[in-house]
Amino acid sequence: MEKKIRLLKAIEQDARANITDLATVIKESAEATQSILDELESQQIICGYHTVINWDKTSEDPVSAFIEVSATPERERGYDRVAKQIYSYSEVGSLYLISGDAEFLVLIEGKTMREVADFVSKKLAPIKGVTATKTQFVLKKYKVDGMVLEESGKSQKREILTP
């Protein structure tokens, strides 16, 4: 398991790491590393490979929002049915059941604020069991999935040749 954890940490840092690099990390052959990866995928421990993109630097300008959703639990099913109703929408990027005042935290991305607002009012709020929503728009992303998107005020330059 220790090797699997090391492999998972390495691939979490760099989803594009090639098999030879990963094999070096866990000190296994490339073939053995590939078969561990296949196993982790089939067990849905590895659920997908994604890229961290700083959309602010592109011509696209998507709008992100965190939405706190209050909901009523259901007999025998707890929050699972409501959760499924929420995460089944393709606009929902992430969904978490949380402690605190609200029950869920939804991360959604839309093209415009209007689109996000429409999603909340027309799709999310009407779900049976949802009692309230509170939308917080993201103004700027500093760090996503462990990656700093842009260092501010960094001016340091290394020397060209040192001992």
Partner 1 sequence: MNYRFSDTLKNLPGSVLSRLISLADSLEDVVSLGVGEPDFDTPWPIRAESIYHLENGDTFYSPTRGFLELRQQIANYLNRRFGLSYDPETEVMCTVGGSQGIDLVFRCLINPGDEVLIPQPGYMAYEPCAVLSGAKVVPVLLKEENGFKLKAEELKKAITDKSKILVLNFPGNPTGGVMTKEDYLPLVDLIIKHDLLVVSDEIYGELSYNVPHYSIALIPEIRDRVILLSGFSKTFSMTGWRLGYLCAAKELIDNFAMVSGNMIICTPTITQYGGIVAMRDCDKEIPRMKASFLKRRDLILSGLEQIGLPCCKPEGAFYVFPNIKQFGLSSADFCAQLIQRERLVLCPGSAFGAAGEGYVRCSYSYSKPEIQEALKRLGRFVSWLRENK
Residue 112 found at the interface with partner 1 (CB under 8 A): no
Is 79 in contact with 104 (CB distance < 8 Å)? yes
Q: Read off the amino acid at residue 66.
A: F
In angstroms, give the least distance from the CB of 17 to partner 1: 8
**Residue pair 137/116 in contact by the 8 Å Cβ criterion:** yes
At 108, phi and psi to the nearest 5? -125, 155
Note whether 8 binds partner 1 by CB under 8 A: no
Residue 21 or residue 68: which is nearer to partner 1 going by CB? 21
- Considering only the stretches 19-27, 46-54, 99-107, 114-122, report the one whose residues sit in contact with partner 1 under the rule CB under 8 A: 19-27
Q: Judged by CB under 8 A, which of 3, 8, 21, 107 binds partner 1?
A: 21
Using CB under 8 A as the binding rule, whether residue 162 contacts partner 1 is answered as: yes
Could you say whether residue 50 binds partner 1 (CB under 8 A)? no
Q: For the chain, report the end-to-end CA distance as a whole number of angstroms.
A: 42
Is 144 in contact with 81 (CB distance < 8 Å)? no
Three-state DSSP class for 111?
coil
Considering only 3, 4, 8, 10, the residue that binds partner 1 (CB under 8 A) is 10
The answer to the question of residue 161 lying near partner 1 (CB under 8 A) is yes
Tokens representing 146?
Answer: 């462990």
Residues in touch with partner 1 (CB under 8 A):
10, 20-21, 24-25, 158-163
